[in-house]
Structure 1
Amino acid sequence: MASLIHRFRPIAAQKLWRAPHVSAHRLYSQAAATEDPSLSDYERLLVSKLVDAFEPSSITVRDISGGCGSMFAINITSKAFKGLPMVRQHRLVNQVLADEVKKWHGLQLKTIVDNP
């Protein structure tokens, strides 16, 4: 029993880190964001707009409407969100995608502040 106790450090001493829940094949660096062949042309357009506006460290754009392009899930991690409340972060993303969002039925948006 003593060997089991020594194998595990207290939780406070452990460095715990959880990646945001994203589809691994849809996680992009800024440089490769628009070059992924698994993206549709429309998804590439959305990624391009978001990369230009926020210079994210990671971004995911996924059509969750079954392919018709009416609902998207977007996760974006950027230093541009530092110091801003979540509502303001979401408003900034919605402003960048305003013309596109008008065409959609829904948007699942998750913004994350990139801490250096």
Structure 2
Amino acid sequence: MLPSVLRRARPVSTSAALVRPLAHHAPMMDPDPSRPVEKAIKTKLTNSLKPQHLEVQNESHMHAVPAGSESHFRVLVVSSQFEGLPLIKRHRLVNEALKHELSSCVHALSIQAKTPEQWESNPTLAKSPPCMGGSKGDHTVEEKLKAGGE
């Protein structure tokens, strides 16, 4: 098993993943008040990176977690603060803004960090990588959950 630090947040680049258009997503929507982690993510990224476009998607339902969980997220952040920065430094800015959530309740965070120019030329969001810690497609998840509780 990988150490939790390696399993936690895996940045994804558009070149390494499938992309799909975002025509059906509404940017900067108010989060559901019953979703405190999602709300914290949106607030912290908005305050720290002043994004021109921000999307936060809770993908926990796609994983072997209890209903209503807030543990797996995908974020798209479009910010002028990313201009001139390599991808790794952009991801570090996002991780720094969300360090509390990443050290406590968020198991996986897929990040797409674009400059406004990059977003304008390619308004797509990369598909999240598969979860290595028990996705719904993992038929051994019951065994893993039992082993974790023993």
Structure-1-length-normalised TM-score? 0.68
CA offsets 1:94-114 (integer angstroms, 9 cap, x no match) = 011001012322111100111
**How many Å separate the matches in 1 of 2:95 and 2:23?**
22
Residue among 38, 42, 56 paired with 2:37: 42
Aligned match of 1:111: 113
**TM-superposed deviation, 1:36:** 4.7
Q: What is the DSSP-based 3-state SS (H/G/I as helix, E as strand, rest coil) of the residue aligned with 2:39? A: helix
Runs of 4+ off more than 6 Å: none
Q: Percent identity?
A: 26
Q: What is the DSSP-based 3-state SS (H/G/I as helix, E as strand, rest coil) of the residue aligned with 2:57? A: strand
**TM-superposed deviation, 1:26:** 4.2
Return the structure number with greater relative CO, CA threshold 8 A, min gap 6. 2
**How many Å separate the matches in 2 of 1:48 and 1:23?**
23
**How many Å separate the matches in 2 of 1:36 and 1:106?**
19
**How many Å separate the matches in 2 of 1:83 and 1:92?**
13
Aligned match of 1:24: 24
Aligned length: 93
> In terms of Rg, which structure is larger?
1
**How many Å separate the matches in 2 of 1:83 and 1:110?**
16
| Pairwise CA RMSD | 2.5
In the alignment, structure 2 segments of 5+ residues that lack a partner are: 1-19, 62-67, 121-150
Preserved contact between residue 59 and residue 77 of structure 1 (Cα < 8 Å): yes
